[in-house]
Structure 1
Amino acid sequence: MFPNIQELNIYIICGKTDLRKGIDGLAASLRELYGENEVPYDHSLFLFCGSQRDRFKALYWDRSGFVLYYKRFENGHLQWPRNRSDVQRVSHYQLKRLITGLSIIERCTIHDRRVGYTN
């Protein structure tokens, strides 16, 4: 069963992850990043992306075992953070954007404000 997203801490594991890894391999990657007994599994969803950026895996601990989710996009690719810190926390809104194929970083254009002159 998919957890209530509103109750989760969501983390992106930045960079490239070997998506041939299954549950045990991804959990081992988290232990390497956080330390052996420091991984915050409770109420957390961890997202991993491979080098092709057209798919990602999500690892979740549901208190009775790990759950692994897998998403592959038929068209397009993910805007995945590559050169930042190892783990980046994202919001629920950013997760929804990611799942639908949008960038987690919303870009907006800032236009110059034109002030009208009166004579």
Structure 2
Amino acid sequence: MIRPAQVWLAVEPVDMRGGIDSLSQRIQNLLGTSPCDGSAYAFRNRRSTRLKLLIWDGTGVWLCQRRLHRGHFVWPTADASTVGLTARQWEWLVTGVEWQRLDAPAPIHWRV
């Protein structure tokens, strides 16, 4: 399994019919970087039930797709066009778990 150093999520949904070329172009337009920089780039559909991952492995570009049969991927809502994830957050995201809550600090007003 390929384990990228950094995973970037494109916040806005994309048309899942797009392939390597159209998603690579989207990366260049969103970030101004090359899709061959060693990072992985993830895209989702509108319903957040499918995602595509574009990653360079040093030899070529991989385009992987994952579909959930139940539930949806928890995707960030942010002012930025992309959000970076740690490897741990990525592993939780692809399983459909609400990864944003894993590292959340306890509310200040909460007491035992």
Scaled to the shorter chain, the TM-score interval is 0.7 to 0.9
Which residue among 18, 29, 33 is the counterpart of 1:32? Answer: 29
Q: Is the 8 A contact 2:15 2:45 kept in 1?
A: yes
Give the superposed CA RMSD.
2.0
- How far, CA to CA, are the matches of 1:34 and 1:112 in structure 2? 39
Is 2:42–2:52's contact at 8 Å kept on the other side of the alignment?
Answer: yes
Judging changes above 3 Å, is the alpha-carbon distance between structure 1 residues 18 and 82 closer, same or farther for their aligned structure 2 residues?
farther
> Which structure's CA Rg is the greater one?
1
Equivalent residues of 1:15, 1:83 under 8 A apart: no
Structure 1 gap ranges (5+): 115-119
Which of 1, 6, 9 is the matching residue for 1:9? 6
Residue correspondences, number: 109
Q: Report the counterpart of residue 117 of structure 1 in structure 2.
A: none
What amino acid maps onto 1:31 in structure 2?
A: Q
- TM-score norm. by structure 2 comes to 0.84
Q: State the shift of 1:58 in Å.
A: 0.3
Q: Cα gap change, 1:84/1:104 in structure 2, threshold over 3 Å: closer, same or farther?
A: farther
- 1:50 and 2:45 correspond: yes
CA contact (8 A) 2:40 2:54 kept: yes
Aligned match of 1:74: 69
